[in-house]
Amino acid sequence: MKKPVLVVKFGSASITSNGEIDEQIVLEIARQCAQLQPKYNIVLVSSGAVAAGKRFIPKYTGTLAQRKAAAAIGNPLLVRTYGTYFRPFKIALAQSLCERQHFANRSQFLQLKSTYETLWKNNIIPIANENDVVSNKELKFSDNDELATLIAVGFGAEQVLFGTSVPGVLDGKGNVIPEIKVIDKEALSLARKEKSSVGLGGMTSKLNFARLANQLGIKAVIFSMQTENAILKAVKGETGTVCHPQKTRVSSRNKWLASGSLIAGMVQVDKGAIEALLNRKSLLAVGIKQVVQDFEVGEVFQIADEEGVVQAVAKSKIDSVSLKSGSKKNMEIAHANDIVLL
């Protein structure tokens, strides 16, 4: 049987200490992945390159140019450290520096998928990270939580694990919530607004991308590497916060559309339009209240309800300029086959 795919993401705060890569943590990652590799095709999504490289730049203030330079310095340091600790377990690694366009363009994405499958056939684990050195500011990933989710959805992963600096999603008293069955507005409100000094994301980011993964049938776990055998326990749902997958019959193409496509715009629609979408109908101009962000023909846009919550994504049949003219209320904005409910 083909092995299921497991995506494990580590934030900068979880694998660095005082700006240095925490080698004890990397050793634990290697040890536990060695136990999991016979059962899973593993992808590691690792932050830490910028955090590891910025100490080499005097008067570092975090400008875009300095972040790119720090990433250029830190990426080889990060991969070398991983290689050092995976080598005793006889596991080879491959570096995979990704850009947003690799997921937005389906042809490029399928090439990436083919490469990963070749690596897995040869028992090699890819370590993915954003290609910060060349990524366009407007087209970059929001953070590596997004990259991990895109890989998980695109590759049909069974699970995506988010390693972070806290033990899981915390309630108002600071206790870990062991499971979240549905990530709704109440669950999202649990996220604290702060983020670490070395990372881009935070709990809000993790819950939002865990929600996307869940809606597309993937289990997500938010956990801390400070727990003994953290990865092994997270896979079993025995540590951190387990976010349960929803049942889905979304095709691989539409999963890519919902996650990997480059979102160009957004519209806000009324209740009637939302009901029509839920009944698998096309989106018509009559149901659109406003264009929040412009888009062109063939681009992917988000569909938000009256409260501003994104309920679907769709591939446009017309551009937003034509939509704003309002000349044809029954004009089809997106066909039902090109709409993915979230």
pLDDT per position as a tens digit, 162-191: 998 889 999 888 899 999 998 887 888 877
Which pLDDT score is estimated for 281? 92
Inter-residue contact 166 to 242 (CB < 8 Å): no
Please state which of the ranges 150-154, 164-168, 298-302 shows the lowest mean pLDDT: 298-302
Which pLDDT score is estimated for 160? 97
pLDDT(6) > 70:
yes
Q: How confident is the model at residue 263 (pLDDT cuts 50, 70, 90)?
A: low
Cα→Cα distances 193→40, 57, 150, Å:
34, 29, 23
Which pLDDT score is estimated for 10? 94
Inter-residue contact 259 to 212 (CB < 8 Å): yes
- Range with the largest mean pLDDT of 98-102, 132-136, 177-181: 177-181
Q: How confident is the model at residue 203 (pLDDT cuts 50, 70, 90)?
A: confident
Quick one: average pLDDT of 133-153? 70
Q: Between 308 and 58, whose confidence is greater?
A: 58
Whether pTM exceeds 0.85: no
Task: For residue 111, give every residue at least 6 positions away whose Cβ sits within 8 Å of its Cβ, in sequence order, or none.
Answer: none
**Interatomic CA distance for residues 193 and 207, integer angstroms:** 12
Q: How confident is the model at residue 132 (pLDDT cuts 50, 70, 90)?
A: low
Inter-residue contact 139 to 103 (CB < 8 Å): no
- Range with the largest mean pLDDT of 39-48, 56-65, 211-220: 39-48
Which pLDDT score is estimated for 238? 96
Angle CA 44–47–52, to nearest 5: 130
**Interatomic CA distance for residues 339 and 318, integer angstroms:** 14
Residue type, 198: V
For the CA atoms of 3, 236, 240, 22, what is the dihedral angle to 10 degrees? -60
Quick one: average pLDDT of 124-143? 69
Which pLDDT score is estimated for 272? 93
Residue 1 three-state SS: coil
Ramachandran sector of residue 188 (left: φ over 0; alpha: ψ -120 to 50; beta: rest): alpha
Length of the chain measured in residues: 342
Which residue is associated with the tokens 């990865």? 231
Between helix 106-121 and helix 252-259 the angle, nearest 10°, is 110
Which stretch of DSSP H or E encloses residue 296?
none
**Interatomic CA distance for residues 107 and 130, integer angstroms:** 19
Q: How confident is the model at residue 220 (pLDDT cuts 50, 70, 90)?
A: very high
Question: Cα-atom radius of gyration of the chain, to the nearest Å?
Answer: 21
**Interatomic CA distance for residues 14 and 25, integer angstroms:** 8
Share of the chain above pLDDT 90, in %: 41
Quick one: average pLDDT of 263-277? 88
Quick one: average pLDDT of 246-254? 71
Quick one: average pLDDT of 3-15? 92
pLDDT(257) > 50:
yes
Which residue is associated with the tokens 């299921």? 4
Which pLDDT score is estimated for 127? 96
Q: How does the average pLDDT of the chain come out, rounded?
A: 85
pLDDT(196) > 50:
no
Report residue 342 as tokens: 């979230």
pLDDT(201) > 60:
no
Quick one: average pLDDT of 257-274? 78
Ramachandran sector of residue 97 (left: φ over 0; alpha: ψ -120 to 50; beta: rest): beta
Q: How confident is the model at residue 133 (pLDDT cuts 50, 70, 90)?
A: low
